[in-house]
Amino acid sequence: MSTIQINNETFNYQLNGPENAPVLFFSNSLGTTYSMWAKQVDYFSKNYRVLSYDTRGHGESVKNKGPYTLEQLGNDVLHITQALGIEKFSFCGISMGGLIGQWLGIHAPEKLDKLVVCNTAAKIGQEAGWNERATLVRSEGMNPVANGSAGRWFTEGFVQANPVIVNELIDGLRQTDAEGYASCCDALAKADLREKIALIKTPTLIVAGGHDPVTTVADADAMAEKIAGSSRVDLNASHLSNIEASEAFNHALEAFLKG
Ligand SMILES: O=C(O)CC1=CCC(=O)O1
């Protein structure tokens, strides 16, 4: 891992793959880190310069007191790429990362080759729910949220069959900085791109999990309706589809990036 300082704030990132290959940027979901992309980094770093990072408030990146905004999280991506001398890149984000991707598609299309938004929505959940969750973790820490997360992230079958993978992610969530996590909940509470995503003209792939209870197939349908020419794939997975259905995820992403 490496770190980069941007306006006196630290961001943790990892670059893998051939230096001159096209850049593929991965953005994590709420309560995870860059490491959630391990299967994608392995697969894509043969042919792409793969960049993954810890979103503000997560992992080893800056955890300043919030609230954060979606605009701030989107600008973090632009600042990181600028600081690393990357002019253009393809962006793949999941859940909160997918909202960041939609923001980039609206506000910085000139930076994007292709856009992949996974297990996400133009508005995720409800403002009151995010405010409640932010208040909960600020007062009680991460345990109450961590206790219910396996069932939001994975199907029951995957949880039973893959205890090591699931426990590692849930342990990581327990160790997430509560203020950083809550500040991202603040950003999610206010983020609503429903009126703007029709502005996205970048070639876009929308990935949904057929069993995702958080960002549903109907959310993906609503994005697909608004983003002209977007491609669409539904995977046999719940919310963290890049982990639960990693092979199908990688094949779908590869076909889209090559096409
Ligand atoms: O609630 C969760 O943990 C799932 C989730 C919602 C937004 C995000 O990034 O993850």
Write the CB contacts of 98 (distance below 8 Å, at least 6 apart in sequence). Answer: 27, 117, 118, 119, 120, 121, 215
CA 96–ligand 1 middle distance (angstroms): 7
Q: Look up residue 82 and give its two tokens.
A: 């600028």
Q: Look up residue 112 and give its two tokens.
A: 């994007």
| pLDDT tier at 155, thresholds 50, 70, 90 | very high
Write the CB contacts of 40 (distance below 8 Å, at least 6 apart in sequence). Answer: 26, 50, 92, 242, 246, 249, 250, 253
Q: Answer for the pair 94, 28: CB distance below 8 angstroms, yes or no.
A: yes
pTM of the predicted model over 0.90: yes
CA 30–ligand 1 middle distance (angstroms): 5
CA 20–ligand 1 middle distance (angstroms): 34
**For a pocket test of ligand 1, which of 152, 176, 183 has the largest count of ligand atoms closer than 8 A to its C-beta?**
152
* pLDDT tens digits, 104-149: 999 999 999 999 999 999 999 999 999 999 999 999 999 999 999 9
* pLDDT tens digits, 219-253: 999 999 999 999 999 999 999 999 999 999 999 99
Helices 96-107, 178-190: crossing angle, 10 deg rounding: 50
- 124 Cβ below 6 A of ligand 1: yes
* Burial class for 171, CB neighbours closer than 10 Å (0-12, 13-18, 19+): exposed
CA distance 215 to 121: 6
Strand partners, 94: 118
CA 19–ligand 1 middle distance (angstroms): 32
Q: Whose CA is nearest to atom 10 of ligand 1?
A: 30
| pLDDT tier at 213, thresholds 50, 70, 90 | very high
Residue type, 257: L
- 31 Cβ below 6 A of ligand 1: yes
Q: Whose CA is nearest to atom 5 of ligand 1?
A: 30
β-pair type (231-235, 23-27): unpaired
Number of domains in the chain: 1
- 196 Cβ below 6 A of ligand 1: no
- 214 Cβ below 6 A of ligand 1: yes
* pLDDT tens digits, 37-78: 999 999 999 999 999 999 999 999 999 999 999 999 999 999
The whole domain housing 107 covers 2-258
At 220 the pLDDT is: 98
Cis ω on the peptide bond leading into residue 109 (within 30° of 0)?
no
| pLDDT tier at 258, thresholds 50, 70, 90 | very high
Q: Answer for the pair 89, 23: CB distance below 8 angstroms, yes or no.
A: yes
* pLDDT tens digits, 175-191: 999 999 999 999 999 99
**For a pocket test of ligand 1, which of 29, 123, 170 has the largest count of ligand atoms closer than 8 A to its C-beta?**
29
At 121 the pLDDT is: 98
- The candidate with the shortest Cα–Cα distance to 212, out of 99, 146, 124, 100, is 124
ipTM score assigned to the predicted complex: 0.98
CA 18–ligand 1 middle distance (angstroms): 32
For residue 251, the domain's CATH number is 3.40.50.1820
At 232 the pLDDT is: 98
| pLDDT tier at 90, thresholds 50, 70, 90 | very high
